[in-house]
Chains A and B, each alone.
Chain A
Amino acid sequence: MNQVNRLAKGGRIDRGRPLTFSFNGQTCHGYTGDTLASALLANGVDIVNRSFKYSRPRGIVAAGAEEPNAIMQLGATEATQVPNVRATQQALFDGLCARSTNPHSGLLSTIGELFSPMIPPGFYYKTFMAPASMWMTYEKLIRKAAGLGRSPREIDPDHYEHSKQHCDVLVIGAGPAGLAAALAAGRSGARVILCDEQEELGGSLLCSREMLDGKQASVWVAAVVAELAGMDNVLLLPRTTANGLHDHQFVTLYERRTEHLGDRAPEVNGQQLARACMYHVRAAQIVLATGAHERPLVYAKNDVPGNLLAGAVSTYIRRYGVVPGKRLVVSTCHDDGYRAALDWAEAGHEVVAIVDARERADGHWIEMARAQGLNIIMGSAVIEAKGKNRVTGARIASIDVARFQTTGPASELSCDTIASSGGFSPVVHLSSHTNSRPVWREDILGFVPAELPGLTPVGGACGVYALGDVLKGGAEAGAEAAIGCGDTSASIDLPDVERLKTGEALGLYQVPHEKPTLRAPKQFVDLQNDVTAAAIELATREGFEAIEHVKRYTALGFGTDQGKLGNINGMAIAARCLNQTIADTGTTIFRPNYTPVGFGAIAGRHRRDLFDPERYTALHEWHRARGAKFEDVGQWKRPWYFPSNNEETMHDAVVRECRAVREKVGMLDASTLGKIDIQGKDVREFLGRIYTNGWEKLAVGKARYGLMCKDDGMVMDDGVTTCLADNHFLMTTTTGGAARVLEWLELWHQTEWPELDVSFTSVTDHWATMVITGPEARRLLAEVTDIDLDRDSFRFMDWRVGMVAGVPARVYRISFTGELSYEVNVQAHYAMHVCKTLFQHGDKYGLTPYGTETMHVLRAEKGFIIVGQETDGSVTPEDLGMQWCVGYNKPFSWIGKRSLTRPDTCREDRKQMVGLKPLDEMVVLQEGAQIVFDPQQPIPMTMVGHVTSSYYSPTLNHGFALALVKGGQKRIGERVYCPMTGGVTHAAEIVSPIFYDPKGERQNV
């Protein structure tokens, strides 16, 4: 396509660097400096999309973030697809490949077009609600038809960055106010970040008619930007959207770092650049210089391509050298609307008429338009656009704004473009992200940000539009924000600005039509969500009076649009229908993100193998070399089982590992258990308060199992704690509970018992722990240690210090398998050496490494609980049958004790831990399976418990399980049932949870 609408000269584009791009498969041309939108307009593309609900043809309306129609799917390959890109924000690059998000009339689209009068607000709620079960099906169809863009189906080849920033002053927006603010703050020496969503810093000044110091405003911009770029204390971020403003001045900035360069982030010196970066900024002060969005007028068929914002028309002509049509009609109610006509005429195109709703006007721009002989029609407005795929004419009529009616017959002007402007709406979005409601100001006909600590709106963002005032306000706010951060004597000289004469603006939102709103052709308020004035009127008639309800019901300002163009008009229409003021009606508030943000930038470097920390023990490489399959336990990677070769199944490996431990000797890496070093004179007292059992009498050299409850009496953790010396204990915790238990100990010490002399230090990572367990454990260990392992001198639940494989070690005789066990603890640096040495000696004893699965089977055979498996925060020590571990007579009312006598905790029919033996010995019950007493009971059956652990036992040669069953401890010998999906019901007998070696003889040999 040819650039039929491109001017021969003018604009900030580089005609010496032409670019080629494709739109919906058609090849188009543009220049460096174009946005996708300006290039499409230059190529004469009228229809860029189909609308969301009614599938009407839509063209480009705006030139910035507020664009509602030109929403594109970008990407030359499947992997580089990016949905929901505003063409007005996408810089053109060579080879850019764009498609309309919703290009064709699909099936539902045709329905939408034909039956649009039958799709009222709330249509989806009303139509698709019943039956509720079908909503999922409807939703898929609706989403597909709605055309909301799609995510890539292949892995994104690019990478994304995060950067955490701190600054004294964050200036959001680099228009006149923002530049002045940044310069004032920057010169004082404060740490400043200046961001702007556009390609170039400068905002409105880049294509302004105003002169600064008698020169084009862009000259001043260039000088200021150059000075800021030279300051070490200033970070300049173009192409960077402040997409969210959160509590305590935390702002996220989304920098599209290389999206203007190509489909993929380019390589520089062999390094691929990041595609985008998310800055997490903590700012002491924020200067909100986000400017204002021009408000379109709401008139009939204002969505036909060729209806644009007046300011956008000026921007396309002055900044991009594109005139988006031949014959223009302007419809406005304030002075700035005239600028578009002046620019259009200067570009040599025909201005058919300027239609001004005011009775009279005599501002600077009006006089200039008169002087150029432009046709100005006062007291009137465009009430309806003509045409379908492109504007062919404008119907105008005189109107009475106060009475909301036309006052004379309509006449039709022939034109292909209608530029409308109803005034400006401050861009208050960010200010309301933390739930503060903007305030209506009648004098500027707009909502301004409410007062927020640390936030200063300047310029257009607070309704100040005269350029001189904007610059002054910006500079003052920048200097004020930087107070206390540097040299306060620094100041800036503001450029001279001619003060222009302006007339009063008229508050016009919806233009009255000859027909009542409900019968007039569609007057669009929110183009992106296809919300019309009639829809809002209908919503208010149906009883939706609160503005948030009107929004919800009509979809006004939903989704990626966030009400940039339509919201204020919507509020004004609702106010008119409800016969109240806009101030009384109020506004809805806006959410992050201001414009869409790529998921990649949210994830940053936290992806693939860096998505979450992987914690390794000191023996991790040994496990890998032995071919271990790993299991995630919290963030830890623990060996799950060790297949002896590639073919061995998990079942076979676990059977082999279990047998090795029961018959010979096995080795488990238990380094992940939490270990807390506790020192102080009051450790015994403290332990007695924290644990359910007693610690007064534990002798030096001995270890004891302990159970820990929350104060509600429910088990929270368990582990073995060792008395190293009178003032020195070592606590072990579950692998997953290590951090939680340490915090728990600190909590009670710091908040309730600060008088106790006790302190806690995590030594989890310091010690590596290898469990040597099985009948041959003693003979194996004896080969590598100088510790006397005689059963009568080193007894069960004792610990000793000595050398193991030449390394100083602390060895505990504690057992989680029920077999003779030694837990060898060495400083983690030496774990690999000790492990290798053990295996050098272990072959003749059949030493076998085993993983967590075998550990689970072996401990369950012994009826040992695992906190978090047998317990779920609702299980007491008594429910577990662990009364032996409860010190009922300890003097201090330890944590959880009082709760054990609450009526609910001493109920007899609580769920209690029992063993289950399936009647069919080959059955392994499913963990989590629900248990019933009566398998014949019709659904819903009375569930009386569930299976908590279930395995096949190679030692017992049958399946077995631990379970929580109502009143289970008194039901030993009774039968229960697990009805499974698919109609199978397994029967099992309630038995003691100790399946193996009930007297505990094997660990004591």
Chain B
Amino acid sequence: MFYIHCPYCAEQRSEEEFHCMGQAHIQRPENPEAASDREWGEYLFFRDNPRGLHQEMWVHAAGCRKFFNVARNTVSYEIFETYRMGEQTSVTAGTTAHGREGQVEQVHKVRRVRA
């Protein structure tokens, strides 16, 4: 059960207040009519499924109803960072290293889970 820092409410809330909306930073083609069927299909249907660092979009559905992004490890489920729409993550695959069991040795200081 995740404990997610909502960047708008500026505090951690329980996962049941949120919905995951899938991969973050999916760009709708600027001019859809000019996109080829292949490009359009990739925008619609193709998503990454990485082992390790992943950027996802979540919405604080039962809270402030704002969408935001989460940089998360898909193996350890550790959340490195949450950030607002329009912002870019400071966590990159380069800043994390895969350990023996695929766990990311975290470079970032974990936000201390504190009520």
Which A residues fall within an 8 A CB radius of B?
Answer: 166-168, 191, 246-250, 280, 282-284, 434-437, 453-454, 484-485, 711-712, 743, 746-747, 750-752, 754, 893, 897-899, 902-903
Taking CB atoms, residues of chain A closer than 8 Å to B77 are: 247-248, 434
CB of A284 within 8 A of CB of B85, answer: no
Known: A750-B67, A893-B31. A250 touches B1 (CB 8 A): yes
CB of A898 within 8 A of CB of B32, answer: yes
CB of A168 within 8 A of CB of B32, answer: no
CB of B2 within 8 A of CB of A248, answer: yes
11 sampled A-B residue pairs with Cβ under 8 A: A248-B3, A248-B79, A711-B43, A747-B59, A747-B67, A754-B86, A893-B31, A898-B33, A899-B44, A902-B37, A902-B40
Known: A246-B1, A751-B85, A893-B32. A903 touches B115 (CB 8 A): no
Chain B positions 1-35 with a Cβ under 8 Å from a chain A Cβ: 1-3, 14, 19, 21, 28-29, 31-33, 35
A249-B3, A282-B113, A751-B67 known; 14 other A-B pairs, CB under 8 Å? A166-B115, A248-B113, A284-B112, A434-B77, A436-B101, A454-B113, A484-B114, A743-B19, A743-B59, A746-B67, A747-B67, A893-B32, A898-B35, A902-B40
Taking CB atoms, residues of chain B closer than 8 Å to A898 are: 29, 32-33, 35, 40
Which B residues fall within an 8 A CB radius of A?
Answer: 1-3, 14, 19, 21, 28-29, 31-33, 35, 37, 40-41, 43-45, 57, 59, 61, 65-67, 76-79, 85-86, 101, 103, 110, 112-115
Taking CB atoms, residues of chain A closer than 8 Å to B67 are: 746-747, 750-751
Task: Give the Cβ gap from B19 to chain A, nearest Cβ, in Å.
Answer: 8
Instruction: Please report the number of residue pairs spanning A and B whose Cβ atoms sit closer than 8 angstroms.
Output: 82
Task: Give the Cβ gap from B33 to chain A, nearest Cβ, in Å.
Answer: 6
CB of A282 within 8 A of CB of B37, answer: no
Taking CB atoms, residues of chain A closer than 8 Å to B43 are: 711
Taking CB atoms, residues of chain B closer than 8 Å to A484 are: 112, 114
Taking CB atoms, residues of chain A closer than 8 Å to B66 are: 750
Kindly state the separation between the CA atoms of A589 and B5 in the bound complex, as whole angstroms: 30
Known: A282-B14, A454-B113, A746-B67. A437 touches B101 (CB 8 A): yes
Taking CB atoms, residues of chain B closer than 8 Å to A485 are: 114
Taking CB atoms, residues of chain A closer than 8 Å to B1 are: 246-248, 250, 280
Kindly state the separation between the CA atoms of A166 and B103 in the bound complex, as whole angstroms: 27
Task: Give the Cβ gap from B80 to chain A, nearest Cβ, in Å.
Answer: 12
Taking CB atoms, residues of chain A closer than 8 Å to B78 are: 453
Task: Give the Cβ gap from A365 to chain B, nearest Cβ, in Å.
Answer: 39
**Cross-interface CB contact of B85 among A434, A712, A750, A897, cutoff 8 Å:** A750
Kindly state the separation between the CA atoms of A485 and B115 in the bound complex, as whole angstroms: 10
CB of A903 within 8 A of CB of B37, answer: yes
Known: A166-B115, A484-B114, A746-B65. A250 touches B3 (CB 8 A): yes
CB of B3 within 8 A of CB of A282, answer: yes
Task: Give the Cβ gap from B72 to chain A, nearest Cβ, in Å.
Answer: 10
Task: Give the Cβ gap from A426 to chain B, nearest Cβ, in Å.
Answer: 19
Task: Give the Cβ gap from B69 to chain A, nearest Cβ, in Å.
Answer: 10
CB of A168 within 8 A of CB of B3, answer: no
Kindly state the separation between the CA atoms of A752 and B57 in the bound complex, as whole angstroms: 13
Task: Determine the residue in chain B with the shortest Cβ distance to A283.
Answer: B113
For the complex of A and B, the 3 pairs showing the least CB-CB separation, nearest first, are: A898-B32, A250-B1, A248-B3
Task: Determine the residue in chain B with the shortest Cβ distance to A453.
Answer: B110
Taking CB atoms, residues of chain B closer than 8 Å to A247 are: 1-2, 77
Taking CB atoms, residues of chain B closer than 8 Å to A280 are: 1
Kindly state the separation between the CA atoms of A498 and B47 in the bound complex, as whole angstroms: 62
CB of B113 within 8 A of CB of A249, answer: yes
